[in-house]
């Protein structure tokens, strides 16, 4: 009897060992890497593909300084001990230390620019009145209690417990319905500055998933935030504080995270075709780093597609020659089922642009924000992370797109950035920080040569309010496992590093 029990417990391991083909993971961001780790923990072999030069997905960074030790985030930044329960151990294991952070709502502000504007000045962000502060202090605990109860009901990955109707409405309606008067302006700023839409468009389901109590406290300046950066030694007991936020050089974190995966990771590699017509998926890929790209074939036992599932990413629009295709816009030639096509045609994205720009006239460790934001692709957030660096990190968002990717190109967004910051006078902030006035007076034109790096990302995959109300997540969840294919991305929860990691782990824990 005991021998039979032992053999039964070992049988899944023997079966997996006998499978020759690996699980193919497409996407080496936090979701794909987390899925790979979870699969290997269950003794599955894996192989990973990603078109970027390095792992990390949107968690990239630009480095400068004499020894390349100054990092400028091109994507995710913050981490909290309270909310990032899956992320914190990964950061600690990487040994990446934490840096003091900035409030993005107490720095300097510049308005949306109109075509007729010649120069606009930055101004100090307005300080809330005592009455406003008192109202916010009253509302935060009530918001927290409501959110905690909602997350308890709906907080599972892929919303498998269902989406209540009162969470399908836009966040502005939800706040009004629940009697909040002071928080809407804070919540709207927190959505707009980070590219998550606004009170009018973003469903309450996603806004509540995003705005945890500690993150809301940061935006209301009732809590602290810190950055995490590489090459800055600090005491070991300063890795995570108890209540505030930290921020990370997530690129360094995920490079380390990927280094302990045993399976092969093909970066700078485009997946050109996925054929699921046979008993197991067959994946065709091409190396983008080769002068004469050659297609190769990988047989897969299963597929984990760890990227936002929009039709543009799952339907080919070009040839298979790596020398002639823009792989940032060309999708995979994939045999989608009618059900998959129906669901993924309803997924919307935000075009997210991040840049590293030489702007020595801007003081360090100060946040500059565009509030209110304009839905025209202008940069809405910028900060210089380090003393001794002339580089700032910039963040821009394309117009809100109900479905699909949107049509604001990298070139258009780059030109908008140059036009915008060439007409912003940062000298009031420079004078306030006692920078050299010779280098800070008036608006200084930004040239194309000042842009060290500028990237476009698929960001914040989501469904719209009407689709949420019509049970779209039930239809999405029904696709999992069909034709040995599993879907994992920010769509499974929300577009944040923590939920991206959870999405990769949950898919493996549930289906493998």
pLDDT of residue 58: 95
DSSP class of residue 446 equals: P
Task: Specify whether the CB–CB gap between 380 and 370 falls below 8 A.
Answer: yes
pLDDT at 174 over 60: yes
In a domain, residue 198? The reply is yes
DSSP class of residue 483 equals: G
Least confident residue range of 96-100, 332-336, 487-491: 96-100
In a domain, residue 219? The reply is yes
**Which residue, 65, 177, 12, is CA-closest to 512?**
12
48 and 154 together in one domain: no
363 and 502 together in one domain: no
Query: What whole-number distance in Å separates Cα of residue 312 and Cα of residue 330?
Result: 7
Among candidate residues 443, 460, 477, the one where a domain is terminated = 460
Q: Higher model confidence: residue 126 or residue 300?
A: 300
Tell me the CA distances in angstroms from 88 to 83, 227, 246, 468, one per residue in order: 9, 13, 10, 31
In a domain, residue 75? The reply is no
Per DSSP, the chain holds a count of helices (H) and strands (E) of: 16, 24
106 and 218 together in one domain: yes
pLDDT band at 386 (very low <50, low <70, confident <90, very high): confident
127 and 45 together in one domain: no
In a domain, residue 139? The reply is yes
331 and 471 together in one domain: yes
- Report the percentage of the chain scoring pLDDT > 70: 86
pTM across the whole model? 0.91
Mean pLDDT score, 470-491: 98
pLDDT of residue 441: 62
> Taking the C-alpha atoms of 136, 138, 139 and 140 in order, what is their torsion angle to the nearest 10 degrees?
80
In a domain, residue 41? The reply is yes
In a domain, residue 236? The reply is no
116 and 209 together in one domain: yes
Mean pLDDT score, 26-43: 98
Least confident residue range of 11-15, 311-315, 419-423, 488-492: 11-15
Helix, strand and coil content of the chain, in percent to the nearest 5, comes to 35, 20, 45
In a domain, residue 85? The reply is no
Bridge partner list, 486: 304
138 and 198 together in one domain: yes
Least confident residue range of 72-81, 165-174, 442-451: 72-81
- Scanning the structure block, which residue is given the tokens 């499974």? 492
pLDDT of residue 324: 57
Q: 275 is in which domain, residue-wise?
A: 12-53+267-346+465-511
183 and 275 together in one domain: no
**Which residue, 280, 271, 336, is CA-closest to 307?**
271
In a domain, residue 272? The reply is yes
pLDDT of residue 287: 94
332 and 472 together in one domain: yes
For position 183, which CATH number holds? 3.30.70.1990
Per the prediction, the chain carries an average pLDDT of 87
For position 316, which CATH number holds? 3.50.50.60
359 and 445 together in one domain: yes
pLDDT band at 402 (very low <50, low <70, confident <90, very high): very high
pLDDT of residue 290: 76
Least confident residue range of 236-250, 258-272, 434-448: 236-250
pLDDT in tens, 89-106: 999 999 987 666 567 777
Mean pLDDT score, 262-283: 97
Query: How many structural domains compose the chain?
Result: 2
113 and 195 together in one domain: yes
332 and 474 together in one domain: yes
pLDDT at 318 over 70: no
Mean pLDDT score, 356-364: 93
């Amino acid at each position: 009897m005991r021998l039979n029990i032992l053999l039964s417990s070992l049988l899944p391991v023997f079966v997996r060992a006998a499978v020759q083909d690996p699980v193919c993971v497409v996407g080496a961001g936090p979701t794909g890497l987390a899925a790979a780790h979870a699969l290997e923990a269950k003794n599955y072999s894996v192989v990973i593909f990603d078109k970027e030069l390095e792992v990390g997905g949107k968690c990239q960074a630009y480095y400068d300084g004499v020894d390349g030790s100054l990092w400028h985030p091109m994507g995710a930044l913050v981490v909290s001990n309270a909310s990032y329960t899956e992320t914190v151990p990964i950061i600690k294991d990487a040994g990446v230390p934490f840096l003091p952070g900035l409030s993005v709502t107490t720095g300097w502000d510049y308005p949306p620019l109109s075509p007729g504007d010649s120069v606009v000045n930055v101004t100090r962000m307005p300080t809330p009145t005592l009455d406003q502060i008192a109202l916010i202090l009253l509302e935060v605990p009530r918001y927290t209690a409501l959110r905690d109860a909602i997350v308890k009901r709906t907080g599972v990955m892929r919303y498998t417990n269902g989406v209540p109707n009162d969470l399908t409405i836009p966040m502005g309606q939800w706040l009004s319905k629940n009697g909040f008067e002071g928080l809407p302006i804070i919540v709207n700023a927190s959505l707009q500055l980070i590219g998550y839409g606004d009170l009018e468009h973003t469903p309450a389901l996603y806004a509540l998933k995003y705005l945890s109590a500690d993150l809301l406290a940061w935006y209301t300046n009732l809590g602290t935030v810190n950055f995490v950066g590489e090459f800055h030694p600090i005491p070991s007991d300063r890795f995570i504080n108890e209540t505030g936020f930290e921020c990370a050089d997530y690129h360094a974190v995920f490079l380390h995270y990927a280094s302990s995966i045993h399976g092969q990771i093909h970066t700078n590699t485009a997946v050109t075709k996925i054929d699921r017509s046979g008993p197991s998926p067959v994946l065709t890929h091409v190396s983008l780093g080769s002068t004469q790209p050659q297609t190769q074939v990988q047989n897969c036992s299963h597929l984990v597609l760890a990227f936002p599932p929009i039709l543009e990413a799952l339907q080919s629009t070009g040839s298979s020659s790596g020398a002639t295709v823009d792989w940032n816009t060309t999708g995979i030639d994939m045999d989608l089922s009618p059900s998959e096509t129906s669901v993924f045609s309803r997924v919307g994205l935000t075009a997210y642009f991040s840049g590293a720009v030489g702007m020595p006239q801007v003081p360090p460790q100060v946040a500059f924000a565009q509030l209110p934001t304009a839905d025209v692709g202008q940069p809405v957030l910028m900060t210089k992370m380090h003393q001794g660096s002339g580089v700032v990190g910039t963040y821009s968002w394309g117009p809100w797109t109900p479905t699909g990717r949107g049509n604001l190109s990298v070139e258009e967004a780059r030109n908008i950035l140059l036009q915008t910051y060439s007409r912003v006078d940062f000298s009031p902030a420079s004078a306030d920080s006692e920078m050299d006035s010779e280098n800070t007076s008036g608006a200084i034109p930004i040239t194309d040569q000042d842009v060290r790096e500028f990237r476009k990302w698929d960001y914040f995959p989501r469904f719209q309010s009407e689709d949420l109300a019509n049970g779209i997540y039930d239809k999405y969840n029904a696709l999992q496992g069909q034709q040995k294919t599993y879907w994992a991305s920010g769509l499974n929860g929300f577009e944040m590093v923590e939920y991206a990691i959870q999405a990769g782990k949950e898919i493996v824990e549930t289906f493998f």
